[in-house]
């Protein structure tokens, strides 16, 4: 068991202790149900051969088939994949979905691969893990450095392997190949729904416009920014790997998105009242109501990082951007966090809708998807608020507690120690 998974388990144990959940139930959730590792040979365009490490983890299937993305990134490891599968288990339970948690990845720098090489890798990944993939056992989706096109290739390969067309074996596909409308913006829009639902608990009650600093302007971050603007809020600072741009009166989101698409970096945005910094990490120090973390994990690692924060509250759209070592310092500073398993749940909610759509053979309307997304995020937020109030918990512990209550109910349905005791 790696360091990342051990740290993630700390939050589970904290919630279990607060709710007085039985040890034998929590023990079932301490280790992955199944993790497969593979070495994938990738023939490069120049004829050379690469051997790439790859993994697929099915963490827990108590509530249904496992669900989770596949990432192509040079930092991927078995520990990371297992940790993200654990978080997906918690997220699906919190969102009241009939899924368990899964995750997959390949240790590779995807930016160095040609389109043909990416297709070969996507298809090779499916071949390597086909034994556990299926719409009734383990359902992959896009993640870091994968998207609709990779899912199209994977569905094609999987269908060839099993001898039948099964588009619902993967989610996040192009709409023309069985994908669902509204999947692309779902994570970002879901984060905005979660923020609005938890405003009072964040100490930001009322209807006033919020000032927001946003780290990460990929798919989730950019859609969150658009949703925030539609809600009347101001994005006063945005960062990516190129640096940081800021404007006290709010950044022009449409123009920022255009610059990002054309030039690949937010720091290329210029204009009256707009300033920039080369150090994108300074985003956490910007004065704002809400800091939204929508990049990679481990941004706030401990008390020393908490001391730099210029925000009143945080929303985690990325997976595990705040490490457990920073939790106590955040509580002492009075900075509440909308945790990742609540704030970024929109993606898996709409993925479930896509899976259902594939099984039904009936396309969903866009308004149906939007309603489904808002209902699930709002209902989950309501459950978290109630548990915060009834047990005096912080938001992250309450979110994990809500997930554990559902998971433990499913686990205990098969019997506890007392059910097997003699007499």
Sign (positive or negative) of CA dihedral 358, 362, 365, 371: negative
Helix (H) or strand (E) holding 349: helix 346-360
What are φ and ψ of residue 102, in 5° steps? -140, 170
Q: Determine the Cα–Cα distance for residues 217 and 239; give it in Å rounded to an integer.
A: 7
Q: Map tokens 């548990």 to a residue.
A: 387
Within a domain: 16: no
Tell me: do 334 and 195 sit in the same domain. yes
End-of-domain residue from the set 338, 369, 401: 338
H helices of 209-317, in order, are 219-230, 253-263, 303-306
The answer to whether the beta carbons of residues 152 and 81 sit under 8 Å apart is no
Average pLDDT over residues 291-297: 93
Within a domain: 223: yes
The answer to whether the beta carbons of residues 260 and 245 sit under 8 Å apart is no
Q: What CATH number is given to the structural domain containing 136?
A: 3.40.50.10860
pLDDT recorded at residue 422: 63
Tell me: do 285 and 232 sit in the same domain. yes
Within a domain: 416: no
Q: At what angle do helices 346-360 and 366-391 cross, to 10 degrees?
A: 130
Reported confidence tier of residue 420, pLDDT bands at 50, 70, 90:
confident
Share of the chain above pLDDT 90, in %: 94
Q: Determine the Cα–Cα distance for residues 419 and 423; give it in Å rounded to an integer.
A: 10
Strand partners, 244: 239, 277
Strand partners, 43: 49
Q: How many domains are contained in the chain?
A: 2
- 3-class secondary structure, 71: strand
Catalytic residue ranges = 103
Within a domain: 359: no
Q: What CATH number is given to the structural domain containing 273?
A: 3.40.50.720
Structure tokens at 67: 């669900």
What are φ and ψ of residue 274, in 5° steps? -105, 125
Strand partners, 293: 215, 316
Q: Which residue has the higher pLDDT, 296 or 247?
A: 247
Tell me: do 126 and 241 sit in the same domain. no
Residues listed for the chain: 423
pLDDT at 416 over 90: no
Tell me: do 317 and 228 sit in the same domain. yes
Structure tokens at 269: 């945005």
Q: What is the mean pLDDT of the chain?
A: 96
Tell me: do 139 and 220 sit in the same domain. no
Within a domain: 306: yes
Within a domain: 403: no
Cβ neighbours of residue 225 closer than 8 Å, sequence gap 6 or more: 188, 214, 217, 235, 238, 253, 256, 257
Tell me: do 218 and 140 sit in the same domain. no
Structure tokens at 161: 């392997």
Tell me: do 42 and 137 sit in the same domain. yes
Q: Map tokens 């998207």 to a residue.
A: 147
* Residue 422 C-alpha from the chain's centroid: 45
Tell me: do 332 and 302 sit in the same domain. yes
pLDDT recorded at residue 159: 96
The neighbour count for residue 54, using CB atoms within 10 Å, is 24
Tell me: do 195 and 314 sit in the same domain. yes
Within a domain: 412: no
Within a domain: 311: yes
pLDDT at 1 over 60: no
Cβ neighbours of residue 228 closer than 8 Å, sequence gap 6 or more: 192, 210, 212, 235
Tell me: do 202 and 327 sit in the same domain. yes
Tell me: do 139 and 207 sit in the same domain. no
End-of-domain residue from the set 170, 195, 219: 170
Tell me: do 163 and 195 sit in the same domain. no
Reported confidence tier of residue 414, pLDDT bands at 50, 70, 90:
confident
Angle in degrees, CA 191, 192, 196, rounded to 5: 120
Strand partners, 134: 138
Average pLDDT over residues 373-391: 98
Domain span at residue 113 reads 33-170
Average pLDDT over residues 90-109: 98
The answer to whether the beta carbons of residues 347 and 309 sit under 8 Å apart is no
End-of-domain residue from the set 322, 338, 354: 338
The answer to whether the beta carbons of residues 246 and 217 sit under 8 Å apart is no
Tell which residue, 143, 148, 77, 146, has the closest CA to residue 113. 146
Reported confidence tier of residue 423, pLDDT bands at 50, 70, 90:
low
Average pLDDT over residues 387-413: 97
């Amino acid at each position: 068991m790696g360091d990342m998974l051990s740290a993630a388990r700390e939050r589970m144990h904290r919630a279990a202790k607060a709710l007085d959940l039985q040890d034998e139930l929590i023990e079932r959730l301490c280790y992955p149900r199944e993790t497969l590792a593979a070495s994938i040979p990738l023939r490069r365009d120049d004829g050379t051969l690469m051997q790439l490490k790859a993994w697929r983890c099915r963490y827990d299937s108590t509530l249904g088939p496992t669900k989770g993305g596949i990432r192509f990134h040079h930092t991927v490891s078995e520990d990371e994949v297992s940790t993200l599968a654990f978080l997906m288990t918690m997220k699906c339970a919190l969102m009241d979905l009939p899924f368990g948690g899964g995750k997959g990845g390949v240790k590779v720098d995807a930016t160095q691969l040609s389109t043909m090489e990416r297709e070969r890798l996507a298809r090779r990944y499916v071949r390597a893990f086909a034994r556990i993939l299926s719409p009734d056992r383990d359902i992959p989706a896009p993640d870091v450095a994968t998207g609709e096109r990779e899912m199209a290739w994977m569905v094609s390969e999987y269908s060839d392997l099993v001898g039948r067309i099964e588009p619902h074996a993967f989610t996040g596909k192009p709409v023309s190949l069985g994908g669902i409308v509204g999947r692309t913006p779902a994570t970002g829009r879901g984060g905005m729904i979660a923020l609005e639902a938890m405003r009072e608990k964040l100490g930001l009650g009322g209807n006033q416009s919020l000032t927001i600093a946003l780290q990460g302007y990929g798919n989730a971050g950019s859609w969150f920014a658009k949703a925030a603007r539609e809600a009347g809020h101001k994005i006063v600072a945005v960062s990516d790997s190129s640096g940081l741009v800021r404007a006290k009166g709010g950044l022009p989101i449409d123009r920022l998105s255009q610059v990002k698409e054309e030039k690949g970096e937010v720091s290329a945005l210029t204009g009256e009242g707009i300033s920039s910094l080369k150090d994108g990490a300074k985003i956490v120090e910007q004065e704002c109501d809400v800091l939204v973390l929508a990049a990679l994990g481990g941004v706030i690692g401990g008390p020393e990082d908490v001391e730099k924060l210029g925000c009143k509250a945080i929303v985690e759209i990325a997976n595990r951007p705040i490490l457990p070592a920073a939790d106590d310092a955040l509580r002492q500073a009075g900075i509440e966090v909308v945790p990742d398993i609540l704030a970024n749940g929109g993606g898996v909610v709409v993925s479930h809708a896509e899976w259902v759509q594939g099984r039904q053979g009936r396309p969903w309307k866009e308004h149906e998807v939007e309603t489904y997304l808002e209902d699930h995020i709002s209902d989950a937020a309501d459950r978290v608020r109630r548990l915060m109030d009834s047990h005096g918990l912080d938001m992250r512990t309450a979110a994990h507690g809500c997930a554990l209550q559902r998971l433990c109910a499913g686990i205990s349905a098969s019997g506890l120690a007392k059910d097997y005791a003699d007499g």
